[in-house]
Each structure stands twice: as C-alpha cells, then as structure tokens.
Structure 1
C-alpha cells in the first residue's frame, strides 16, 4: 500500500512510522545532461547510490537541504540511507537545469499528518471537514474554522462552548453545546447566529437539508425544526435518560441513542420516538450512532461496545471491538467501510460493514473525540489534547465510475485494441503526457477523474487511427493529488493513476 501525503503547514510533522521493509539499494546514474531515473520511489531505510558517469564533477543537493553529497568526482559514487519521509526535489549544483525527485515513503504502513494550530490548547469536542479546504472544530470557546486545509485556524468565539457540529455545505452549518444554545452560520463559520436556547446541554445536532433538523441532549432534550432553525419545537423534559447522538436518513426516519443502553427510532420526523431495544445488561452509554440506510447501522459506546443492525434496529447484535476502551464516534463511510475512535488513541476500521474490526496504530495516546471522512481514503481526527490529524491513503480512494454501455463489435473483430497505456512524467507538474497504442482504428474516449470520481477533463472522444497516440493533460488549475485517467476503446477500458505534485 502506497501513501502520498500532503504536508499541510509549518506545524505539520511526520509523527509515526512502523514496520520497515527489508532495505534495498537503488542506483541513480549521473550522465552528461541527465539524471536517470529522474523520479525514484524508495522506502524508509532504503539506500540510494548516485554514480557519476558524466566525466565531470557533480554535486547533489535538495532544495530544502535535507541532504547533500559534496563533490562527486568522475567515476565515483555517493550513497545515502533514506530516513526522512517525503518528496525530495534535488538538483546538481554544477548544472542547475538538471532536476529530479526522490519520493521516500513506506509501502505498507499508514502515516499521519498533524494539522495543529498553536492556539489549540484545550480539548476538541468535534471535527468536520466538508472538503480539502474547509474544516471546523468544536471547542469550549466556540468554533475554530479553516479555509485553507489547516494551514491556519480562526476562532469564532461563543459565550457558550460548542459540543457538536454539522455542515451541509462549506458555508452552511450548525453548532450546539453548553446551556442548550444552537447556532447557525451561513458564511463558513466566520460568524454565528444564535437560533435557540434549549435550557439543557445539547450533545448532538443533525440536519437532512437546509430546513429540517434535530438536536438531542440531557433530560430527554430533543427539539426539532422545519425552517432551518428559525424556530424549534421542544420536547418534554424530565426524563432520567440523556441522549448523546442522533442520525436521520430523511425528514421522517431517524435514530437516537443515549445512556442506559437506549436506542430510539422515529418515523414521523421526531414527533414521536419508540424505544427499539433496551440492553438490560448494558448499564452504560452509547455515544454515537450512524445508519447507512434503513437497514444497516452501527452504534458504539463505553467499554468498547459495538452493536450493529441489519434490519433497521429491530435487532442489534454485539460484535467484538477487541478493546474495552470507551468509543466516542462511529462513521459509516461506505456500506462496508466503517471507522470508530475512542479513548487512549484508539482507532479501528471495519471493511465488512462492522462485523470485524482492525485496530490501527495511531500517532497519539490521548482521547480521540471525533472523526470525519470526506471520502474512503481521506479522514480527519480530533483529540481532547487539542490536536487534529489528517489521514490519507490513496489506495482506499474510489476509482472513477465505469458506466456500462452497449458496444458494437468492431469490423476487424479486434475487441482489445489498446496497448501500453502510460503517463509521464509521473508525478507531474502541471502537464502529463498520456501515451497509448491502438492496434486497430477505434472509437476512443480518454477522460481524467479526480479522487472523488468527478470528471475533470476529456482529452479524446471520437475515432482515432491505428498507431501511437499522445494526449497532454494540463492540470495547472487543479489541486495537487491523485488523478485517474480512463481510456476506453471497443469493450476495453484501462484505468491508471497519476500524481500531481505542485
């Protein structure tokens, strides 16, 4: 598994790495007018040997000074064991026009980036990112927001602290927390308007659209709104139970959990709630519930408890989490991919819908209060120690969608005309050349997708003759990251990755 990480700020640091593979020595040839290969990927612990075959002195150095060779005389070599993870661009001081890239990563182990503001000196209750730029953290002082992916954070201060956040778009969101205050922002967290005071601690808030929303909290608190929060219908107080988390699929159907092992469901938009299952032998608290659809859902809580349902909550079955640590948040990223986080740096992942769980090594030991995934390979975690971590794994990002279509049989009977598709350079900035060979004239479509499966360019869409073809993809106006190009001819479809590094 190969991971490419974006180093987000001056505060970003590589925090964690384990399990080095067997070290390998790689050779780079320094010739007159070239460095070969100009791009090399190695693992932590590998050694790179630069061999001077140019007939003149050479001097290898990175732009940021991570390493430098000193003078390498003709016929001599210089070797270095790679211990600093990252993408290192380097040049020859004797010929600054010669440039190359050394990409140092591990092939199997996850790596984490820290997005930490120096002002985060207290616990973070919740974290939400709507895209790669816009993020929000709930704290005891209000809500911190970023509009540059974590390079910097700004505090929108509340008199009351914030406990939970939800954003439908990068600009439209709600926050709830201490003393029952519910706030709304329409400008990406810059300013917040108080919409309601429930009078009790509110623990969670959820909106299905810009109008319909619900909150829950202490003493049976569960107000609801049908006009975006302009007014709220309160629920009766006085319950001994308190509610911690809720999730709605639409304007009618929702679930809610809380202490004493209680799980409730509504089918009328929160006007009435029916207890689904009372775990009489579980006198503790469920902290988070997430429903993927009307049948499949997961709930987590104290003592490492994880329960899942496959029939809409009529039955809840306990599964083993492998821990007795308190679990605070669950998110079903897809029907199969589920993440949980909890006390003492605990993070676990399921790839079978919550049936089995694998604990991940993490870069912290403090309580992880919340998590938010914007796509299967892109997630964010907040801690009570005031830290935010960014997890990225390109191997878990979805490939671009493949749309089935009827294709007429080619006249020459050649169903698979594409040979040797490749892109170069890879990584690239900002232009990549996509090359392929057709063994027969074909109708060809060449399309480029981003990491979320969105089409960003169509480079070819029509008849092309037999032979070699090269298409240029210019990503000058696109963000750094992994892209996929999909080449279709006849019934043959080829998909490849290419990495944009700016």
Structure 2
C-alpha cells in the first residue's frame, strides 16, 4: 500500500512539472542529429517540417505522428504556403538548386525549377514572397567561387503561380537569408554581406537600404514596421533592428543573448527569438522586456526554426532531429470560423455603385493587411484597413459620398499576397 501511494505521489509530481513547461516534445522526425531547418503549415492545418538532407515530413495532428513525404537527399531550407493553397519549398544539393511545389498538402512534390550549380556547398539561405495570385519572387543561395565565402543568390520570378520560373537578377552579397513583402509592395531581402536590399519592381533591380549589417530574418508587424535580425559568428549579443519607414532608417531593439537563429512575430505583435545561447524568448512590448520560454527543450539543443501555426501553436525545430510545440495555444487564431483555403480579394458589390459598396477578402493565415483606394491617376484617396489580422473572412464598407464619379481601384496588400481590382462610382 505504501509503495502504491509513493508511486502516485511521484507520478503526480512529475506530471505537474511537465505541464508547467512551455514546450512539449512531438515525435522525433528521424534517428540522428540533423537540423530542422524550416517549419510551415498549410491552409488546411497540415504542418510540414524540413530536416537537413532527410526531406520533408508532415503531420496532421500537431506532431503526435510525423511521416516522410518527399524531397529526400537534398537540403530544404524554406517552406511557404501560397495564396492558392499550394506549398513551395526551396532547396539544393551539391550540384543543383530547386524550387519544388506540392498541390496536395505535402503528400507529393514536383520540381518546378531546377538550376545546375556545380560544387554547390551553400545550401541554405533563401526566401519567397507571393506578390499577388500569380506573381511569386524567390531567392536561392548558391556557391559562386572556390571558397566558402563566395556565395550569391539568384532571384527567380514566376508570373503563372509557380508553374514556370525565370531568373531576373543575381544578388552578389553573400547568402540571401529571407525575403519579405512590405505593405507598400516593396520586396526586402536579408543578405549576409550587403545588409537589407530593396526591390520595387518584383526583383528586377535591387537597391541598398539604410541597413548594411549581416541580416538573417525579416518580419512585419501590424503597424507595417519592418524588423530585421542579425546572426554572425562571434556575436555576443542578439541584434534586432526596426524600420518605421519601409526600410530607409533602422533603429536597434533591446534584445539580450548571443547570435539569433530564428525570429518571428505573431498576430498579436509579440516577438519570438531563438539564439546561439540555446534560448527561446518572447517580448510582448516590442522588445523592451523579454521572458524566457525555453522550458521543455533539452539544454543540449539549439532551436534553428520557429513557426506559429494558424491554430496558435508555436513550433520549434532543433539541431537534433526534434520538433517541439507549445503545450497550449499561445497566439490568437482564426476569429471568423474555418480558416480559408487561400488568400483572395473579391469583386466589390454592387458595381457600379452609388455611394456605398462592399469589399470582401479572405486570409489563409495571420497577416499584416492594408486595403487602399486609389483614383484613376494612381493617387491613394482612402485607407480602409491598415493592421494585422487573423486568418478568416472579412467585409469592409466604403462610403464614397464625398468622392466624384469615376473609376477607382482597391488594392489588398499583405506579406504574402497583393491584388488590385477596379470599381466604378456612378452618381
């Protein structure tokens, strides 16, 4: 009897400690100690994780079970969900770089872009943005010369939703580690040797910004402010910078630690960072103060990738084939029913109208959103939405009582999607 009670007490005590951890383990992707480079989710809630040289894994139950689903034998370092629900990955081997696509939530994959790159040892670092429903821009790093520092990135563009690609530029500024689409439609690139670069014509040309330090991750918050993180060998502190003017001027954000590995912002504008100090931390006040949320992840493991799923679960990929998830929902999810399967901007109704019309749009994931009205000359005359919103369906009313008869354009811009439609005001 005493032995039985002792077992109950010990079991209950351990369970209580376990439940207090921020992270809990999911099933291990595979044996070995390979990096989990990227994590993402589909519009239907399937979570995908890419493991160094071992392919892409998928789970339909938040990590209780993982199954290999393809792209083995190459390093996949970026996974992204497109507005139409398709999934894209960026990856490479020592001889090629690839853009791959899945149209069935990761069950099968096809290479939609292959480019030969002999002696390519720079498999890592890249980004992808969805400019609108058909235009996609991607950056893939590759080995340019004989030494490890000779790295560049090709800028690829598709105008048919990812079925075909053309090379439009080469950024000879080391690794290109990330891309982001700002609310104004500008594409920013985080590079290792050239800082943050900017393109206003979907990747055809690139210019310097006010940030010229090594950069590895880019994020945009609900106010449209852009954040960039830095990670270089020998860094003794974490470095995050913020721009409130679309990347022209940058200011440091308070952040302690050593060399950032990954950095994300959730739908409530909270900042999450993983670093070389084997820490994961979160800030709810823009970086003024931080709380450590590493509990549950073994002290021997680095977190290489962070991802906030649409259901509000935070996932963390480590250097030991492990994926951990938050024990509870930590970010608000969809507040408008089921998560839509794709981003879209609907035609306004009625159209023509006088003087009120309705604009509907839907978001497949939490995003910064800006909805603007412009006249026939391209002048912005109204801003209807300018904030971060959860995945869901939205309806906005525009009262044009104070505007003249004519043709107007309404444009929806988010980090992963941009589309413009025409409407007619008749009085």
- After superposition, the Cα gap between the structure-2 partners of 1:398 and 1:147, relative to the gap in structure 1 and judged at 3 Å, is closer
1:263 matches 2:208: no
Q: Whose RCO is larger (CA < 8 A, sep 6+)?
A: 2
Taking the aligned partners of 1:79 and 1:156, their CA distance within structure 2 comes to: 44
Q: CA deviation at 1:387?
A: 0.5
Taking the aligned partners of 1:206 and 1:332, their CA distance within structure 2 comes to: 17
Contact 1:220 1:235 in 2 (8 A): no
33, 39, 46: which one pairs with 1:134? Answer: 46
Taking the aligned partners of 2:83 and 2:48, their CA distance within structure 1 comes to: 12
Contact 2:55 2:72 in 1 (8 A): yes
Taking the aligned partners of 2:330 and 2:181, their CA distance within structure 1 comes to: 30
339, 361, 364: which one pairs with 2:272? Answer: 339
254, 260, 265: which one pairs with 2:187? Answer: 254
Count of equivalent residues: 311
Residue of structure 2 equivalent to 1:206: 128
- After superposition, the Cα gap between the structure-2 partners of 1:234 and 1:212, relative to the gap in structure 1 and judged at 3 Å, is same
Contact 1:245 1:289 in 2 (8 A): yes
Query: What's the Cα RMSD here?
Result: 3.5
Cα offsets for 1:244-288 (capped at 9, x unmatched) = 111124793221111135102222222222211243xx4xx3111
- After superposition, the Cα gap between the structure-2 partners of 1:123 and 1:110, relative to the gap in structure 1 and judged at 3 Å, is closer
Taking the aligned partners of 2:243 and 2:328, their CA distance within structure 1 comes to: 28
Taking the aligned partners of 1:138 and 1:271, their CA distance within structure 2 comes to: 29
Structure showing greater Rg: 1
337, 347, 357: which one pairs with 2:290? Answer: 357
Residue of structure 1 equivalent to 2:79: 165
- After superposition, the Cα gap between the structure-2 partners of 1:114 and 1:145, relative to the gap in structure 1 and judged at 3 Å, is closer
1:300 matches 2:217: no
- After superposition, the Cα gap between the structure-2 partners of 1:295 and 1:79, relative to the gap in structure 1 and judged at 3 Å, is closer
Taking the aligned partners of 2:91 and 2:293, their CA distance within structure 1 comes to: 30
Q: After TM superposition, list the pairs within 5 Å mapping 1:348-427 onto structure 2.
A: 348-362=281-295, 363-364=297-298, 365-375=300-310, 377-394=312-329, 397=332
Q: After TM superposition, list the pairs within 5 Å mapping 1:79-118 onto structure 2.
A: 80=9, 82-85=12-15, 104=16, 110-118=22-30
Q: Which runs of 5+ in 2 are unaligned?
A: 118-122, 142-151, 337-389, 394-427
- After superposition, the Cα gap between the structure-2 partners of 1:308 and 1:134, relative to the gap in structure 1 and judged at 3 Å, is same
Taking the aligned partners of 2:124 and 2:271, their CA distance within structure 1 comes to: 25
Q: CA deviation at 1:297?
A: 1.8
40, 50, 62: which one pairs with 1:149? Answer: 62
Residue of structure 2 equivalent to 1:187: 104
Give secondary structure in 1 for the equivalent of 2:125. strand
Contact 1:205 1:246 in 2 (8 A): yes
1:312 matches 2:253: no
Taking the aligned partners of 2:319 and 2:30, their CA distance within structure 1 comes to: 15
Cα offsets for 1:153-209 (capped at 9, x unmatched) = 224134532111112379620111113211001111121111112445563232425
Contact 2:78 2:126 in 1 (8 A): yes
Q: After TM superposition, list the pairs within 5 Å mapping 1:2-41 onto structure 2.
A: none
- After superposition, the Cα gap between the structure-2 partners of 1:80 and 1:169, relative to the gap in structure 1 and judged at 3 Å, is farther
Taking the aligned partners of 1:79 and 1:241, their CA distance within structure 2 comes to: 57
Q: CA deviation at 1:379?
A: 0.6
Contact 2:190 2:217 in 1 (8 A): yes
Taking the aligned partners of 1:199 and 1:316, their CA distance within structure 2 comes to: 37
Q: Which runs of 5+ in 1 are unaligned?
A: 1-58, 60-66, 71-77, 86-103, 402-451, 456-502
Taking the aligned partners of 1:258 and 1:354, their CA distance within structure 2 comes to: 23
- After superposition, the Cα gap between the structure-2 partners of 1:245 and 1:361, relative to the gap in structure 1 and judged at 3 Å, is same
Cα offsets for 1:124-173 (capped at 9, x unmatched) = 21111347951111221321222333213224134532111112379620
Contact 2:158 2:165 in 1 (8 A): yes
Q: TM-score, normalised by structure 1?
A: 0.54
Give secondary structure in 2 for the equivalent of 1:298. strand
Residue of structure 2 equivalent to 1:196: 113
Q: CA deviation at 1:349?
A: 1.0
Residue of structure 1 equivalent to 2:350: none
Contact 2:45 2:310 in 1 (8 A): no
